[in-house]
Structure 1
Amino acid sequence: MFAIQLGDDGAALTPLEPWQAEELLAHMDRGREFIGAHVGLPDVVTDLASARSYLQSYADKTARDEGRLYGIRLDGALVGGVMFRIFDTESGMAEAGCWVEPGYAGRGLVTRACRAIIDWAIEVRGIHRVEWHVSSANTPSIGVARRLGMSRDGVMRESYPYRGKRADMEVWSVLAHEWRAAKAS
């Protein structure tokens, strides 16, 4: 399996594939409450069959060139993930997302991993716009969007039904020319 090093602290980005369902489930069990505060993944990955199904759905998206899923590893252990929930080369638009276990939040792992996948999407695949959809209450994820140089496009009020409540969803984005300009400076 390949890995993209995310720094000199043992952090790496690797693909997540269906054969890793047990590892994903164990990871989700370790961070279920923290991750689930704003992200629905823990409600989807609840047992081995659902973990395998989730990973297979992304393997299928990858095969159709419509999405990607990667694990964030620290010294080989799965501690988080990033993805392109939507990846549309025809329109030049992708939507990135992330999660991380509570003990690994605040270390820059998500920002570094997102930087790697966004750079690949723009520079290699020709994506023009990368979006970031985030609950207005998820301040750490909004911080990631800011560190990635994204601009806040707006708020979709009470558009996100989650666990019996409606949350405001912010849309952030970065355009290819903005990404390149930020890299150059």
Structure 2
Amino acid sequence: MFTTTLADGAELRPLEPWQAEEFLAHLDRARATVDPWIPWASRNTDLDSARATLQRYADLAARDAGRLYGLWLDGTLVGGVMFVSFDLGAGTCEIGCWSEPAARGRGLITRAAGHLVDWAVRVRGIHRVEWLTSPENTASSNVARRLGMTLDGVLRERFPHRGVRHDTEVWSLLAPEWLARTHR
């Protein structure tokens, strides 16, 4: 297991099925604010469903097709970042995030997502990193901007949530852009 320090008291590390109880407690705190943006948040209402979500991401990681990481602040799980999809053959991945109110306004999600971008580009050779969000989720759009992403466009009424169809912004960052920006 690894831990990446993001700031004083903040760590990024894998989020795995054995942590289902902690994950569920976190989602109970976060659900009201993340439900519109993270489709699986409202489906994780008991230990079995939380474990199933974590197992789904563990299975994706085993196939090198996705990954899930938690964000801990002073020892408490307060959010996370993920490779929603990871396709080495195509050279593309999609990154997503979520957080409960206790984690917001500290730059932790941007730092955590930056670690994922850097690993995908530098270590795995990903060429295009995507970020999909609702235009109404300005916090998520702001993370994409801070990462240096470009808004490619809006997919109109792309996903249904609670009987309403929502638009999706598509943001992207290309490997040469990231490398030029980070100079590492």
TM range (shorter): over 0.9
Structure 2 counterpart of 1:73:
72
The corresponding residue for 1:143 is 142
Q: Give the structure 2 partner of residue 44 of structure 1.
A: 43
Distance in 1 (alpha carbons) for counterparts of 2:40 and 2:182: 31
Q: 1:112 deviation in Å? A: 0.5
For residue 6 of structure 1, give the secondary structure of its aligned residue in structure 2.
strand
| 1:118-162 Cα shifts (integer Å, max 9, x gaps) | 100100000000000000100000000000000000000111111
Distance in structure 2 (CA, Å) of the matches to 1:41 and 1:31: 12
| 2:24 paired with 1:6 | no
Instruction: State the SS of the aligned residue for 1:25.
Output: helix
* Amino acid aligned to 2:35: G
Counterpart-to-counterpart distance in 2, 1:11 and 1:121: 21
Letter in 2 for 1:121: A
The structural deviation recorded for 1:164 is 1.1
- What is the aligned partner in structure 2 of residue 32 from structure 1? 31
Worse overlay, 32-41 or 138-147: 32-41
CA distance in 1, matches of 2:141, 2:10: 22
* Residue in 1 that maps onto 2:94: 95
Mapped partners of 1:167, 1:184: distance in 2: 37
* Structure 1 counterpart of 2:128, one-letter code: R
**Which letter does structure 1 place at the counterpart of 2:157?**
E
In 1, distance between residues paired with 2:36 and 2:166?
Answer: 12
What letter is aligned with 1:5? Answer: T
- 1:32-181 paired onto structure 2 within 5 Å: 32-181=31-180
CA positional deviation for 1:173? 0.4
Q: Separation in 1 of the partners of 2:62 and 2:37?
A: 28
Distance 1:149 1:21 in 2: 33
C-alpha displacement at 1:71, in angstroms?
0.1
Among the aligned pairs, what percent are the same residue?
59
Please give the secondary structure, in 2, of the residue aligned with 1:107: coil
Q: TM-score, normalised by structure 1?
A: 0.97
- Residue 37 of structure 1 deviates from its aligned partner by 3.2
Structure 1 residue 184 displacement after superposition: 2.1
Q: How much is the aligned-residue C-alpha RMSD, in angstroms?
A: 1.1
Report the TM-score when normalising by structure 2: 0.97
Structure 2 unmatched ranges of 5 or more:
none
